[in-house]
């Protein structure tokens, strides 16, 4: 996510802003910039690259004197990382400047409207629209301009705004993207997150949705978007600085697990238009979609596990044959790619060497590649023919959670888009699927709130030596990811097995007390999986079942049951994976493992 810091007071603003932005680096970014009012005009310095670049350019802020300013670290969404796309953004006569965290979903419409009125754009960002729209509405009253803009934009935002005409004020506003404000004896502060201002004050105000804040050197006022003044209660932060970077969570992994409802929402909503799914990034007409006669999904690790789910969902909903490959295998097995095939590569980092190589191999053979990628402007995002971004924001923990969840919903959307275009999904079914998709974020949140029950169960397995995850169909894909989550952060040996395959050898490893997690979310396979559970129980296993609320029958065969709320069977991975993520997390925490940075692992495997 982007980082915002602003200051107005009696001290020099630039050093305070640079210091604050450095506390937000954990959020991930690719460029940084500052706008400071020097007593006569607003000056902007911004650059692609690390914050150090900005610090060097401004000699630690010395080249930008002034006691009022805003700063930003950009996590690219619309527009690749570049000096021009970096924030802050100016209006044409450089009298209004803005920094933004979030996505303006109707920016194309607003950009067209403003262009038709003669406004010129210099960047590819959605944010620049805000600078020109503020200009359009500004007639001398900054609050009026701000609130008019907020009534026009759709999407998510945390904003810092500066008007050269009113240099004794900074404006801030929020909808869905986090924003806090604070005050001490030297001035007032805005920030995307507490760490940026914790050094200056522990008393902060969390800005709520559709609230506007006017900050002066010695006081702040809160308003609604309809300019009604309101009072807010401050919150005193008890965290230490290190904990604050994790917003109070013990680990980034837990924080990112709890970001999954928002991740799924951010990936879904921009692509659901009324009763239809619109995936502009596909750049394919229905005819072109219909011409696809095979899909190859290629990825590594958890992204591969998402791809395995994608196979079941796309084949089920769109009836297109799907082949899923580990990228490290695909690139060397001289794959057979035939006319009409489409390649989809999935990657959170967009830098995984094997996946990038698979992309290049496919393109070298003349096949179009769609990238499902999280990091905007990454190598895979740049080299794919088309990119479907997962708006998960930067993922810090090595073990992926929120990006994986976003990959799943991206694949659901694709499956529904393909199925609709090919006439395989009737209107009623499509509407039902859409309804189930929209319910996923709340259902994920519900499951996350179950964490204490999972933690208690996990504590029983801190000393485990072997844990098995079994399932059939999509449940097998869920098992793959559940097993990886456990072993990569707790270092406990774990295997995922197609439940029907266990008896062909691996069942010999089941001993008294061995934990077997049976995933059973596919109604047409409930009975089969119960049989497999009975098989392992007969050999002494302790069976944990993860299943749908309707499947009470399973209680006869399971020793411990975790239920997930009802959803379409194609979407159950998004729910069943939550307790399995929590299980792996709490086992690792119980073992005292370095959860966010597990041994031997890197967040992005950029080598073979």
399 counts as binding ligand AGP under rule CB under 6 A: yes
213 touches 173 (CB < 8 A): yes
Q: Which of 105, 48, 20, 57 is nearest to 391 (CA)?
A: 105
Cβ proximity to ligand AGP: between 100 and 402 the closer is: 402
Alpha carbon distance 213, 224 (integer Å): 9
**Max Cα distance, the chain (Å):** 81
Work out how close the CB of 410 gets to ligand AGP at its nearest, in angstroms, rounded to a whole number. 12
303 counts as binding ligand AGP under rule CB under 6 A: yes
Alpha carbon distance 454, 464 (integer Å): 16
Residues in 308-347 that interact with ligand AGP by CB under 6 A: 347
Active-site residue flag, 68: no
177 touches 101 (CB < 8 A): yes
- Residue 230 pairs in a beta bridge with 222
358 counts as binding ligand AGP under rule CB under 6 A: no
567 counts as binding ligand AGP under rule CB under 6 A: no
Cβ proximity to ligand AGP: between 17 and 406 the closer is: 406
Work out how close the CB of 602 gets to ligand AGP at its nearest, in angstroms, rounded to a whole number. 8
Q: Which stretch binds ligand AGP (CB under 6 A): 166-174, 248-256, 395-403, 519-527?
A: 395-403
395 counts as binding ligand AGP under rule CB under 6 A: no
Work out how close the CB of 237 gets to ligand AGP at its nearest, in angstroms, rounded to a whole number. 31
Q: From the list 314, 398, 510, 519, which residue makes contact with ligand AGP (rule: CB under 6 A)? A: 398
Cβ proximity to ligand AGP: between 123 and 355 the closer is: 355
Measured at CB, which residue is nearest to ligand AGP? 301
Alpha carbon distance 153, 110 (integer Å): 8
Q: From the list 103, 300, 343, 406, which residue makes contact with ligand AGP (rule: CB under 6 A)? A: 300
Work out how close the CB of 256 gets to ligand AGP at its nearest, in angstroms, rounded to a whole number. 11
Catalytic residue among 232, 438, 528, 603: 603
Alpha carbon distance 141, 68 (integer Å): 19
Strands 96-101 and 42-48: unpaired
302 counts as binding ligand AGP under rule CB under 6 A: yes
Work out how close the CB of 287 gets to ligand AGP at its nearest, in angstroms, rounded to a whole number. 31
Q: Which of 456, 180, 398, 417 is nearest to 286 (CA)?
A: 417
220 touches 266 (CB < 8 A): no
349 counts as binding ligand AGP under rule CB under 6 A: yes
Q: From the list 127, 355, 362, 522, which residue makes contact with ligand AGP (rule: CB under 6 A)? A: 355
**SS3 annotation, 394-432:** CCCCCCCCHHHHHHHHHHHHHHHHHHHHCCCCCHHHHHH
Residue 245's CB is within 10 A of a number of other CB atoms, namely: 23
**CA quadruple 477, 482, 488, 493: dihedral sign:** negative
Residues 6+ apart with CB under 8 A from 163: 95, 96, 138, 142, 145, 169, 171
Q: Which stretch binds ligand AGP (CB under 6 A): 263-271, 300-308, 514-522, 532-540?
A: 300-308
61 counts as binding ligand AGP under rule CB under 6 A: no
Cβ proximity to ligand AGP: between 4 and 76 the closer is: 76
Alpha carbon distance 271, 55 (integer Å): 38
Q: From the list 348, 362, 520, 547, which residue makes contact with ligand AGP (rule: CB under 6 A)? A: 348
Give the count of residues interacting with ligand AGP (CB under 6 A).
15
Active-site residue flag, 2: yes
Cα-only R_g, the chain: 25
DSSP 123: S
Q: Which stretch binds ligand AGP (CB under 6 A): 168-176, 349-357, 443-451, 549-557?
A: 349-357
Alpha carbon distance 161, 69 (integer Å): 9
Q: Which stretch binds ligand AGP (CB under 6 A): 66-74, 96-104, 296-304, 556-564?
A: 296-304
Alpha carbon distance 565, 543 (integer Å): 20
User: The tokens of 299 are what?
Assistant: 């990825």
Residue 579's CB is within 10 A of a number of other CB atoms, namely: 24
Alpha carbon distance 522, 529 (integer Å): 9
360 counts as binding ligand AGP under rule CB under 6 A: no
Work out how close the CB of 484 gets to ligand AGP at its nearest, in angstroms, rounded to a whole number. 6
352 counts as binding ligand AGP under rule CB under 6 A: yes
532 counts as binding ligand AGP under rule CB under 6 A: no
Q: Which stretch binds ligand AGP (CB under 6 A): 205-213, 248-256, 258-266, 398-406?
A: 398-406
Alpha carbon distance 67, 181 (integer Å): 17
593 counts as binding ligand AGP under rule CB under 6 A: no
400 counts as binding ligand AGP under rule CB under 6 A: yes
Residues in 453-492 that interact with ligand AGP by CB under 6 A: 488
Half-sphere exposure of 265 (CA within 13 A, CB side): 17
Work out how close the CB of 348 gets to ligand AGP at its nearest, in angstroms, rounded to a whole number. 3
580 counts as binding ligand AGP under rule CB under 6 A: no
Catalytic residue among 2, 68, 188, 300: 2
156 counts as binding ligand AGP under rule CB under 6 A: no
372 counts as binding ligand AGP under rule CB under 6 A: no
Residue 535 to residues 158, 518, 524, 538, 543, Cα–Cα distance (Å):
54, 12, 19, 5, 11
Q: From the list 301, 419, 441, 473, which residue makes contact with ligand AGP (rule: CB under 6 A)? A: 301
Residues with active-site annotation: 2, 603
- Tell me which residues touch ligand AGP (CB under 6 A): 300-303, 347-349, 352, 355, 398-400, 488, 604-605
């Amino acid at each position: 996510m982007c980082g915002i810091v602003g200051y107005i007071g009696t001290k020099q603003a630039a050093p305070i802003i640079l210091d604050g932005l450095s506390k937000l680096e954990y959020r991930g970014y690719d460029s940084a910039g500052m706008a400071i009012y020097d007593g006569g005009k607003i000056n902007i310095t911004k650059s692609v690259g690390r914050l150090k670049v900005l610090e060097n350019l401004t000699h630690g802020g010395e080249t930008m004197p002034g006691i009022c300013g805003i700063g930003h670290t950009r996590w690219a969404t619309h527009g690749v990382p570049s000096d021009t796309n970096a924030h802050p953004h100016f209006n044409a006569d450089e009298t209004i400047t803005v920094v933004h965290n979030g996505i303006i979903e109707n920016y194309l419409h607003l950009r067209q409207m403003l262009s038709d009125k003669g406004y010129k754009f210099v960047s590819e960002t959605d944010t620049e629209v805000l600078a020109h729209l503020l200009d359009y509405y500004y007639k001398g009253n900054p609050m009026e301009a701000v609130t008019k803009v907020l009534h026009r934009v759709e999407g998510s935002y945390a904003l810092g705004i500066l008007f050269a005409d009113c240099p004794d004020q900074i404006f801030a506003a929020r909808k869905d993207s986090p924003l806090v404000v604070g005050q001490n004896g030297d001035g007032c502060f805005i920030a995307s997150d507490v760490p940026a201002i914790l050094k200056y004050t522990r008393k902060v105000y969390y800005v709520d949705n559709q609230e506007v804040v006017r900050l002066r050197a010695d006081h702040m006022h809160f308003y609604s978007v309809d300019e009604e003044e309101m009072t807010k209660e401050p919150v005193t932060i008890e965290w230490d600085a290190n904990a604050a970077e994790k917003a109070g969570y013990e680990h980034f992994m837990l924080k990112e697990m709890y970001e999954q409802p928002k991740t799924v929402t951010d990936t879904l909503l921009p692509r659901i238009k009324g009763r239809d799914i619109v995936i502009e990034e596909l750049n394919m007409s229905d005819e072109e979609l219909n011409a696809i006669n095979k899909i190859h999904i290629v990825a590594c690790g958890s992204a591969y596990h998402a791809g395995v789910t994608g196979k079941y969902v796309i084949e089920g909903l769109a009836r297109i044959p799907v082949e899923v490959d580990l990228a490290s295998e695909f690139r060397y097995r001289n794959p057979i790619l035939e006319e009409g095939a489409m390649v989809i590569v999935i990657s959170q980092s967009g830098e995984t060497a094997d996946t990038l190589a698979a992309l290049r191999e496919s393109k070298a053979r003349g096949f179009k590649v769609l990238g499902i990628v999280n990091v905007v402007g990454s190598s895979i995002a740049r080299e794919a023919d088309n990119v479907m971004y997962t708006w998960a924001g930067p993922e810090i923990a090595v073990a992926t959670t929120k990006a994986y969840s976003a990959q799943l919903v991206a694949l659901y959307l694709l499956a529904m888009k393909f199925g609709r275009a090919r006439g395989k999904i009737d209107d009623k079914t499509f509407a039902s699927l859409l309804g189930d998709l929209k319910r996923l974020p709340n259902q994920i949140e519900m499951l996350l709130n179950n964490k204490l029950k999972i933690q208690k169960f996990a504590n029983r397995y801190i000393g485990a030596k072997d844990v098995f995850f079994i399932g059939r169909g999509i449940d097998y894909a869920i098992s793959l990811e559940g097993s990886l989550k456990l072993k990569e952060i707790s270092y406990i040996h774990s295997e995922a097995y197609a439940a029907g395959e266990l008896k062909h050898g691996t069942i010999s490893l089941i001993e008294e007390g061995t934990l077997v997690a049976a995933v059973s979310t596919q109604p047409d396979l409930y009975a089969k999986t119960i049989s497999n559970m009975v098989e392992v129980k007969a050999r002494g296993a302790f069976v944990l079942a993860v299943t749908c609320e309707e499947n009470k029958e399973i209680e006869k065969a399971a020793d411990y049951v975790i239920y997930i709320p009802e959803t379409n069977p194609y979407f159950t991975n998004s729910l069943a994976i939550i307790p399995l993520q929590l299980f792996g997390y709490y086992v690792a925490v119980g073992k005292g493992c370095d959860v966010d940075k597990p041994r031997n692992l890197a967040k992005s495997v950029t080598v073979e």
